[in-house]
Amino acid sequence: MAKREYLKPTTLHEAVEILAAAPGRRIVAGGTDLMVYIREGKEAPAALVDVTAIPELNGVQKLGDGALAVGAAMTHSMIGSDPDIRAVAPVLSDASSSVGAVQIRNLATIGGNVVNGAVAADTLSALAVLDAAFLTFGPEGEKRYTIEEFFLAPGKTAVGVGEVLTKILIPAQPGASHAFIKVARRRAAAISRLAVSVIANPDGGYARIAVGAVLPKPGRITPAEEALKEGFDLAAAKAAGEAAKAHVLSISGERPSMVYKLPVVSSAVEKAVIKALSLREVK
């Protein structure tokens, strides 16, 4: 692997200046994806800009309305074990805890998982049901994006050249119950074939459902959510699963892999709803 310059700014302004000073400089935090791409010859950055020492990218900040601001440089292990995240957004805690193996979780960051924009990223369906927002900082100052604005296409986000993802904003979820289910070839150290996230609040009359790894970009499945408005019971959970299957088919089309994926979508969504509502034990 060729030698390259390594830079480690300690402020956001310094990071932006470093990125703008020369072309081909790439941000790195955990490096669990980028370093693999470099070794394989798929990426050849002129320099690596390590953003892990920037205070704004670290830690969890409690906001006045019960929401959280999660630093983009927090690792999945940190997110999975953080008590504030577990209290406000257990679906995100569970999603981060499902990423790779423990060695990967100790290095890989939530920011990297998000900025890569990979359709199979474990946390994206959780962030969709949480109605998360994303803060970036760059030459034009701070910008804020909704999840619909942030993810543009597979592998493409709204983070511009010279910009840094700083925080993920998680709104409070009072009275809601959460569930996350991952389908993969193994129980651990596996890429998602399907991820399902559910937040449900029967007293509030709403549910949010999102799936990952089977759609081009993260987003909620409104038809499945509408199905639950008929009643937060087992029949509605099954109807939500069928609605999710139809929604995925309408977007992805009749591809060969859908023959086995679609039944899994309906089953996993049904199970996630049942789990969130504690209608019965889900294995």
Tell me what pLDDT residue 257 has: 75
Going by pLDDT thresholds of 50, 70 and 90, the confidence category of residue 143 is very high
> What domain range is 270 assigned to?
177-277
- pLDDT tens for residues 255-276? 767 778 899 999 999 999 999 9
Of the candidates 50, 48, 52, the one whose C-alpha atom is nearest the C-alpha of residue 75 is 52
Asked whether the predicted pLDDT for residue 279 surpasses 90, the reply is: no
pTM of the model: 0.94
Neighbours of 6 (CB within 10 A): 10
Within a domain: 74: yes
Q: Let me know whether 26 and 67 are in one domain.
A: no
More confident residue, 240 or 187: 240
- pLDDT tens for residues 64-80? 899 999 999 999 999 99
Listing from the earlier edge strand, what are the strands of the sheet with 25-28? 5-7, 47-50, 25-28
Q: Let me know whether 209 and 188 are in one domain.
A: yes
Q: Let me know whether 59 and 156 are in one domain.
A: yes
Within a domain: 242: yes
Average pLDDT over residues 35-57: 95
Q: Let me know whether 38 and 96 are in one domain.
A: no
Asked whether the predicted pLDDT for residue 28 surpasses 80, the reply is: yes
More confident residue, 189 or 178: 178
Asked whether the predicted pLDDT for residue 107 surpasses 80, the reply is: yes
Q: Let me know whether 192 and 102 are in one domain.
A: no
- pLDDT tens for residues 163-188? 999 999 999 999 999 999 999 887 77
Tell me what pLDDT residue 35 has: 92
Asked whether the predicted pLDDT for residue 251 surpasses 70, the reply is: yes
Within a domain: 248: yes
| Partners of residue 198 on adjacent β-strands | 179, 209
Going by pLDDT thresholds of 50, 70 and 90, the confidence category of residue 283 is low
Number of structural domains the chain divides into: 3
Tell me what pLDDT residue 282 has: 66
CATH number of the domain to which 253 belongs: 3.30.390.50
